[in-house]
């Protein structure tokens, strides 16, 4: 079979040479031999057709990558003598046909990815060396899939596609929320195993049960925080949180997980680590970094967690003595779904980076094969004291950071007062169209209340009913008279969401 294929290839080469020389007699002879050797007839005819004289000019065809970019409205740029040339209508509209910048400058203008982004430079170098390279790059809220390759004249070309369409973003959000729930369940399972141990004293069992309850509460908060962080809205005003006690408490919860895996967990935390962040966000950052380190070192390994204060930053360091990462793994560590673990899902580190950047911080990783890994989180420092309004009286905003959707006249009439108490008030259309993260829906029970409440029940974690009629069981988390007023409503919201509200 191999010899037959080789003979067919040799005949095609001979036919191509005859076509190039224009020897029609030789073309006919070789074509007849090729057909007898079972070379596909369509291929033989196509080769012969190349040698026929043309009486009409042939319209030049766009190269495949240019046709693709034109059809999908994607920016395509090429590098020619050190400057970028826009090749697709999308790139020409954004850059202008006479663009004079470099390829990196063109990519920056087209995508928002900075020209000095290390991952971008590495992608272009890989393409120059190997002929083709692809990567999904992120910077802030910008996320692009770049495909770099060498053209017919060995010029570098880059095709860009904005990553994370609606379906992809939704799947990633659901997967990340699932990841946070799995983290919490891991801790709950370890604590439950500790409580069941026959050698445990009643006091230790009671302490384990209290921690199970707290961990379940924290997991729900982390899931809700993750939904909010991956939503389309920018972060709202956030409370000032002391990260020190939170880190210490979290590591106490994680101690049972580390002990079960045979990993030594060390912790050194300074005092006064005030930063602007929700407790749930900080928990997700610390938990995922520590979990990643514990899984990396394996049995007999050591993980060190430190938190300290610099002049204007709160600094968290998670060190491990595991196998470390190769440069390629380190480069892709924050890429969603990339993992080197047999049971990993590649969502922990991308979530950490997303949360850190959302809080105005920085995340740096240092690693080398055989030398372990070191993750350093740096967050803006805040003063402990709460700012005082001009009157000299401390401002009270008990609903600060709470996302509220109002439906119906009675509910909407309270919007301004709720906003004054710190709530972020949305209308139903805005919440649905933008897929905004919502904490609570407040429904006027007198205006087709049960129908509206049923339609909005899945929009938020909680639903509050305003009406004199009693809602059907399971429909609302709390019910108030229609004229209860804002103070009564604020009290209910604090009871339902006190764990997520600024103090």
Chain segment 240-273, per-residue pLDDT in tens: 888 888 888 888 777 777 887 889 999 999 988 9
Residue 341 vs residue 55, higher pLDDT: 341
Asked if residue 59 belongs to a domain, the reply is: no
Tokens of 362: 């920085």
Q: What is the pTM assigned to this prediction?
A: 0.42
Domain shared by 331 and 250, yes or no:
yes
Domain that holds residue 275: 168-380
Tokens of 453: 């409440």
Look at 60-64, 148-152, 165-169 and tell me which has the smallest mean pLDDT.
165-169
pLDDT of residue 307: 93
Tell me which of 163, 192, 217 is where a domain ends: 163
Tell me which of 148, 163, 178 is where a domain ends: 163
Place of tokens 């709390």: 478
Mean confidence (pLDDT) of the chain: 76
Asked if residue 392 belongs to a domain, the reply is: no
Domain shared by 89 and 20, yes or no:
no
Burial 280-295 (b: 16+ CB within 10 A, else e): bbbbbbbbbbbbbbbb
> Does residue 58 have a pLDDT over 50?
no
Domain shared by 333 and 213, yes or no:
yes
Look at 70-74, 308-312, 405-409 and tell me which has the smallest mean pLDDT.
70-74
pLDDT of residue 235: 47
Asked if residue 389 belongs to a domain, the reply is: no
Cα–Cα dist 453/473, whole Å = 12
Domain shared by 178 and 157, yes or no:
no
Tell me which of 129, 163, 197 is where a domain ends: 163
Domain shared by 372 and 413, yes or no:
no
Residue 464 vs residue 237, higher pLDDT: 464
Domain shared by 250 and 355, yes or no:
yes
Look at 24-33, 73-82, 344-353, 472-481 and tell me which has the smallest mean pLDDT.
344-353
CA distances from 357 to 283, 361, 421 (A): 15, 5, 27
pLDDT, mean of residues 444-450 = 75
> Does residue 304 have a pLDDT over 90?
yes
Domain shared by 347 and 470, yes or no:
no
Q: Which residues contact 480 (CB under 8 A, 6 or more apart)?
A: 464, 465, 466, 488, 489, 492
CATH of the domain at 233: 3.30.565.10
pLDDT of residue 201: 66
Domain shared by 198 and 250, yes or no:
yes
pLDDT of residue 232: 43
Asked if residue 469 belongs to a domain, the reply is: yes
Domain shared by 178 and 300, yes or no:
yes
Domain shared by 110 and 34, yes or no:
no
Place of tokens 């204060």: 309
pLDDT of residue 498: 64
Asked if residue 57 belongs to a domain, the reply is: no
pLDDT, mean of residues 154-180 = 60
pLDDT of residue 175: 43
Q: How confident is the model at residue 386 (pLDDT cuts 50, 70, 90)?
A: very low
Domain shared by 156 and 173, yes or no:
no
Task: Give the whole-number percent of the chain exceeding pLDDT 70.
Answer: 71
Domain shared by 143 and 128, yes or no:
yes
pLDDT of residue 172: 47
Residues counted in the chain = 503
Asked if residue 138 belongs to a domain, the reply is: yes
Counting the structural domains of the chain, the total is 4
């Amino acid at each position: 079979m191999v010899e037959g294929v080789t003979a067919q290839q040799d005949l095609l080469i001979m036919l191509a040479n005859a076509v190039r020389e224009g020897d029609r007699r030789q073309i006919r002879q070789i074509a007849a031999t090729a057909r007898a050797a079972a070379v596909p007839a369509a291929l033989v005819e196509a080769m012969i057709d190349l040698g026929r004289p043309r009486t009409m000019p042939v319209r030049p065809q766009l190269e495949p990558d240019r046709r693709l970019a034109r059809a999908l409205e994607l920016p395509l740029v090429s590098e020619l003598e050190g400057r970028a040339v826009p090749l697709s209508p999308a790139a020409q509209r954004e850059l202008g046909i006479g663009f004079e910048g470099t390829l990196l400058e063109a990519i920056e203008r087209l995508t928002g990815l900075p020209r000095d982004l290390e991952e971008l430079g590495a992608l272009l170098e890989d393409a120059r060396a190997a002929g083709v390279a692809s990567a999904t790059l992120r910077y802030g809220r910008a996320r692009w899939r770049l495909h770099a390759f060498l053209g017919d004249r060995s010029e570098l070309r880059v095709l860009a596609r904005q990553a994370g369409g609606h379906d992809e973003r939704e799947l990633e959000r659901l997967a990340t929320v699932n990841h946070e729930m799995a983290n919490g369940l891991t801790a709950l399972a370890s604590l439950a195993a500790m409580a069941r141990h026959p050698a445990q004293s009643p006091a230790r069992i009671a302490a384990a049960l209290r921690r199970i309850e707290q961990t379940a509460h924290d997991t729900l908060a982390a899931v809700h925080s993750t939904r909010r962080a991956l939503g389309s809205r920018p972060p709202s005003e956030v409370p000032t949180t002391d990260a020190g006690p939170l880190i210490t408490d979290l590591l106490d919860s994680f101690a049972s997980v580390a002990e079960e895996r045979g990993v030594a967990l060390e912790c050194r935390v300074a005092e006064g680590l005030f930063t602007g962040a929700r407790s749930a966000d900080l928990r997700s950052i610390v938990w995922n970094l520590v979990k990643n380190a514990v899984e990396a070192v394996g049995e007999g390994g050591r993980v060190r967690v430190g938190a300290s204060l610099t002049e204007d930053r709160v600094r968290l360091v998670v060190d491990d003595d595991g196998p470390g990462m190769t440069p390629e793994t380190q480069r892709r560590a924050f890429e969603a779904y990339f993992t080197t673990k047999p049971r990993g899902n590649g969502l922990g580190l991308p979530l950490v980076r997303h949360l850190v950047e959302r809080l105005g911080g920085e995340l740096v990783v240092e690693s080398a094969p055989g030398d372990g890994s070191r993750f350093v989180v740096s967050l803006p420092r805040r003063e402990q004291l709460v700012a005082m309004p001009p009157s000299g009286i401390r401002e009270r905003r008990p609903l600060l950071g709470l996302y509220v959707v109002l439906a119906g006249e009675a509910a909407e009439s309270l919007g301004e007062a709720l906003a004054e108490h710190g709530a972020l008030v949305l209308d139903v259309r805005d919440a649905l169209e933008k897929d905004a993260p919502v904490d609570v829906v407040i429904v006027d029970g007198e205006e087709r209340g049960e129908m509206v409440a049923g339609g909005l029940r899945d929009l938020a974690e909680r639903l509050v009913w305003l009406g004199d009629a009693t809602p059907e069981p399971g429909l609302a988390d709390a019910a108030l008279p229609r004229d209860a007023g804002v103070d009564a409503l604020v009290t209910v919201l604090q009871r339902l969401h006190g764990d997520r509200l600024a103090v």
